[in-house]
Amino acid sequence: MFESAATTFASIAVLGLAGYAYHRYYKRLVLQKIENAFQPGDPVLELAALGKSATGSSTHISGARDGKDQNWILRPEQDKIDAVVNGTDKGKYHLIIGEKGTGKSSMLLEAMRKVDGEGISMFEAHADLEIFRIRLGKALDYEYHEDYIGSLFSIRGPRDTTALLDIERAFNKLEKLAMQRRKRRRGPLILIINCTHLIRDDDDGRNLLELIQQRAEQWAASNLLTMVFNSDDYWVYERLKRYATRMEVVPVLDLPKDRAIAALEKYRRRYFPEQTLSSEILSQVYDQVGGRLAYLNRVAKSSNMIHACEKIREAEKTWFLNKCGILGEEMDDDVMDQQKYASAAMVLARALVKAQDQMEASYDPREGHKLPQIPLYKARQIMTRADFIQSYDHDNIFTIDSRANVRADSVPMMNAFREICSEPGFDDFLEATLHRISAIESLNRTKELTLKDLWIEQRGEIRGKYLAVMKDSKGRDTGTLEFAIKPNENLEDDDAG
C-alpha cells in the first residue's frame, strides 16, 4: 500500500511539476513572441517593398534603401508623423483623418521605414470582429492560446469566448510587455490601426472602439504605448471625441497648388523620364483633379494627362449618379426610401454649387482650389435629415473634416456637382422628385375612417347630426368636429340603402 501510494504521489507530482513548468514556459514564450513582433523589420514594410519591386514604382512610397528620397512626395504633416512613429512625440494618442488618397498610410509607412519598423506594429482594421481579432493577433504574433497544450497536464486553458474578450486579452499581454520594456528603459511601443473607418458603426463596432480608446488613454498617460488611428471617415472622430482627453487629431488634406505641381512633375519623371512638361499643362491638370495624390499619380501614368483627368471626373460623376440619381415625378412608391437618400444628396450638392457661386474667390493662383464648405449642422438642415451624411462620407461623395465642415470629397467630385446642377431642367426635375416624395409620404400618413349606420329616420326623412371629440395620446381634448348626415337625392333608392 505504501509503495502504491508513493508511486501515485510521485506520478501526480511529476505531472503537476511538468504542467506548471510548461505553463510558466508558455507564458514567457507568449511575451517573447509579442516582443519579437516589435523588432526591426515589419511585415507591412516587406509587403510595401514587394509591391514596389513587382510594379517597378510606387504611388507614394519611395522605398529608397540608400536614404535618398528623390521619389518621395514630402507632405507638411510628415515631420509630425515621424515624431509620433519614432517615439519622440509621446504622452498622447493620435487620430489621422483625411480623404481617401491623400497619402495618410504612405506617410505612416515612410515614417516606419526611417526607423526600420523598430518598436512598431501596424495592421488593417476590419468590420468583422473575428477578422479584426485575427489581424491583431498576426500583428502581435499572439495566438490567443490556440497553440496551448496544457490540457495534456489537466490544466484548462482560457475558456471559449467572444472576439472582443480575445482582443482584451491580447491588450493585457501587450501591456505586460510594455511594462517590462519600461523597466529596461526602452521607449514606448507604437501600435497603428489602419483603415479604422472600416469598423461598423453598430453596437459591436462602438464597443470595440470604446475598448481600444480606454487602452489608448491609459497607455498614453503612462507613456507605455502610443496608439495611432488612421481613418477616412468623420464618424470615428465623432465617436472618439466623446471620451478623449489625450487624443490629438492630425488632419491630412489635399496638397496646395505649388506642392501638387511639384508632386506631378516627380511622378511624371518617374514614369516618363524623357518628357518635359510645360507649366501650362501642369496647371491644367491641377485645375481638373486638384491636389489629391492618388489622382496625380494616376494622371502621371497616362500618356495623355488631360484625357486622364476627364476620365477621373467622369468616373466621379458616374459614381455619384449611380449612388444618388433621382427619378423624378414618375417614380414608383417602392423606391421612396432610396430616393430620399438620393434627393437629399442632390439638394446638398446644389447648395454647395450655390455656395461656390457666392464665394468671392474659389480659386487662388498660388494656393489653388478653395472648395466651398458648409457647417455640418447647416448641411443637415439643408437636407432635413441628420442620418444620411455619414453614409455620404463613407461612400466618398461628401467629406467631413475635423472641424465639422462638409464639402465635396474632391475637386473632380465638385466639378461633377457643378456639371449635374447646370444641366437644363435640373431644378425642375429635383423639385418634381421632392414633390413626389412628399405626396407619397402624405398618402402614407392619410388614414381612412369608415362610419356605418349613422343616419336616423324620422317622419320618413333620413337625418343625423353628430359631434366628434378629438383627443391626443394623453387623453386631452384637442378639438371637436361636427358633421351631419343628409340624404343624397342623386342616388337611387337601392344605392342609398
Count the neighbouring beta carbons within 10 Å of the beta carbon of residue 102.
Answer: 25
- Give burial (CB, 10 Å; 0-12/13-18/19+) of 362: middle
Q: Are 101 and 256 in contact (CB under 8 A)?
A: no
Residues 25 and 88 in one domain: yes
Cβ atoms of residues 289 and 312 within 8 Å: yes
Angle at 174 between CA 170 and CA 179, to 5 degrees: 150
- Are both 431 and 461 inside the same structural domain? no
Chunk the chain into consecutive blocks of 10 residues (it has 497) and report each block's average pLDDT, rounded to whole numbers. 86 78 83 90 76 49 42 80 91 94 91 91 94 94 78 57 89 93 87 94 94 95 94 94 93 92 89 82 92 92 92 95 91 88 95 92 85 94 92 94 92 94 94 90 75 63 70 75 66 49
Let me know if residue 390 belongs to a domain. yes
361 and 432, same structural domain? yes
End residue of a domain, out of 224, 251, 278: 251
Is residue 118 a contact partner of residue 153, using CB atoms and an 8 Å limit?
no
Which residue, among 382, 373, 312, has the nearest Cα to 345 in the 3D structure? 382
Q: 375 and 476 in one domain?
A: no
Cell numbers standing for residue 39: 523588432
Q: Which letter does DSSP use for residue 405 in this model? A: E
Q: Are 103 and 73 in contact, with CB atoms under 8 Å apart?
A: yes
Phi, psi of 425 (to 5 degrees): 80, 10
Identify the domain boundary among 229, 251, 273.
Answer: 251
* Residues 133 and 27 grouped into a single domain: yes
Q: Is residue 289 part of a domain?
A: yes
For residue 75, the model assigns a pLDDT of 86
User: For residue 68, is it within any domain?
Assistant: no
Residues 282 and 226 in one domain: no
Q: Can you tell me the distance from the alpha carbon of 22 to that of 154, in angstroms, rounded to the nearest whole number? A: 12
We report the CATH number of the domain holding residue 88 as 3.40.50.300
Are both 233 and 266 inside the same structural domain? no
- Same domain, yes or no: 79 and 102: yes
β-sheet bridge partners, residue 400: 406
> Do the domain assignments include residue 297?
yes
Write down the pLDDT at residue 152: 57
The residue among 81, 92, 88 whose CA lies nearest residue 220 is: 92
**194 located within any domain:** yes
Neighbours of 224 (CB within 10 A): 19
Q: Is residue 2 part of a domain?
A: no
Residues 331 and 247 in one domain: no
Same domain, 433 and 396: yes
Residue type, 239: R
Confidence at residue 56, expressed as pLDDT on a 0 to 100 scale: 45
**Domain boundary pick from 251, 268, 297:** 251
Q: Which residue range is the domain that position 373 belongs to?
A: 257-445
Number of domains in the chain: 3
Q: Cα dihedral angle (384, 202, 124, 90), rounded to 10 degrees?
A: 80
Clarify whether residues 193 and 288 are in a common domain. no
What one-character DSSP code corresponds to residue 76? Answer: T
How many other CB atoms are there within 10 angstroms of residue 368's CB atom?
21
In a domain, 5, yes or no: no
